Amino acid sequence: MVWLGNLGLTNHTTSVLRSIFQQVTDAIVVVNGQGVVAGANPAAEKMTGWTAEELSGQIHFCDICRGMANCMEEASCVDCFAHRPSMPSFEMKVRRKDGQEVSVAASSTQLQDHDTKMLVVILRDMSEQHRMERERFQRMMTKYMIEAQEKERKRVSRDLHDGVGQALYSVMVGLKMLNELEFDEPIRKHLQEVQQMTTRALEEVKNMAVELRPSALDDLGLIPAIRSYMKRYEQTFGIETELETIGSKRRYGASVETALYRICQEAMTNTAKYADADKVKVRLTDTPHQVELYLEDNGSGFETDQIRIKGTGLGLYGMRERASLLGGTVDIQSAPNKGTSVHIVIPINEKGEPLHVDPSTYRG
């Protein structure tokens, strides 16, 4: 650290600065008046991949500096940094020894004593922050996608019920009135066949509307919606179901109820498609600080570290993401021939709203 001794400081001050220089976690690069690196701390070595010896006196700072707007190539670094915006730091890129570039936040200060003119550049690695920002953006997009999907499901479900469903019901009423009139037997038989076809079509429309967005979930709450789904599930797949509720049977926030219902639906669909089970147990437990949903089947099971659960919608990723967006967790346990269990926990407050939610991604 010859550069430090050239500043004409007292021994005590030099010792303190040397200790700080070595221990600080931000990268510090000292540049002389010609733009050549005069010193670098261990954090700078780690960031750039060069040793302090390789940097000092050998490399022009412009060789590792990338991405600065209006870069004054091979100019005095003191002059170059003097053109930076008057802010605590700005973003730039540093080129590592291996050629890779690292995004950093840079700030600088000038040191001068007599004829010695130097620039101290402090670099903070922004890679982790950028990674976190990307993850946050991805979570935001996932949340908006889920919200948009639920909104569209609700709209289509309502349109099916109020539009197509009502139209088919009107047709059924008309056919019933026609059946009360006297027709020849062939015509009467044909009317009955059309009436039966219309009845089946109406049932299918009702089932589609419920699958898209059950009105019970909005009108009655999570428990009645799950109970109604389990009844349809038994009729559709022939798999026995059992629902147990522990604690209060209160309503939760719409986001909590929707997430738990969709996760339950997804997990039970997986069981019907892949587990070869004949029974599914569901337990909903309410406590003052969290709500838990536990599903268990007696199916074939699988190796959790080898098989990715498949299913409708977003599958396992969607189940975990729905819970995660509300500060919750999803734990899946399974083994060959030992069935599968899915355990969901969502922290809630006294009003049944999610307790831990990123304010930037949650809208009431």
Q: Could you tell me the residue ranges of all domains in the chain? A: 2-125, 127-213, 216-364
Confidence of residue 78 (pLDDT cuts 50, 70, 90): low
Contact 58, 40 (CB under 8 A): no
**Which residue from 324, 318, 314, 316 is spatially nearest to 345, judged by alpha carbons?**
324
CB of 270 within 8 A of CB of 310? yes
Q: Is the pTM of this model over 0.75?
A: no
Per-residue pLDDT reduced to its tens digit, 261-283: 999 999 999 999 989 999 999 99
Q: What pLDDT, on the 0 to 100 scale, is given for residue 364?
A: 40
The residue length of the chain stands at 364
Binding residues: 62, 65, 77, 80
2-125 fold = Beta-Lactamase (3.30.450)
Q: For 307-329, how does the pLDDT look when each residue is reduced to its tens digit (9 = 90+)?
A: 554 444 447 778 888 999 999 99
- Reduced to 3 states (helix: H, G, I; strand: E, B; else coil), residue 348 is strand
Rounded to whole angstroms, the Cα distance separating 159 from 325 reads 29
Mean pLDDT for the chain? 83
Question: What is the structure's pLDDT at 9?
Answer: 55
Q: CB count, 10 Å around CB of 217?
A: 22
Average pLDDT (182-202) is 86
Say what the pLDDT of residue 277 is.
95
Binding residues for [4Fe-4S] cluster, as ranges, are 62, 65, 77, 80
Nearest in space to 207 (alpha carbons), one of 232, 173, 176, 244: 232
Strands 101-113 and 116-125: antiparallel
Q: For 216-364, which CATH superfamily applies?
A: Histidine kinase-like ATPase, C-terminal domain (3.30.565.10)
* β-strands 279-286, 240-246 pairing: parallel
Burial class from Cβ neighbours inside 10 Å (0-12, 13-18, 19+) for residue 67 reads middle
Question: Does residue 83 contact residue 106 with C-beta atoms inside 8 Å?
Answer: no
Query: Is 94 within 8 Å of 62 (Cβ atoms)?
Result: no
Cα–Cα nearest to 87, from 107, 71, 103, 67: 107
Phi, psi angles (nearest 5°) of residue 347: -65, 135
> What pLDDT band is residue 68 in, cutting at 50, 70 and 90?
low
How far is it, in rounded angstroms, from Cα 228 to Cα 235?
A: 11
CA distance 29 to 43: 9
Q: What is the pLDDT of residue 131?
A: 86
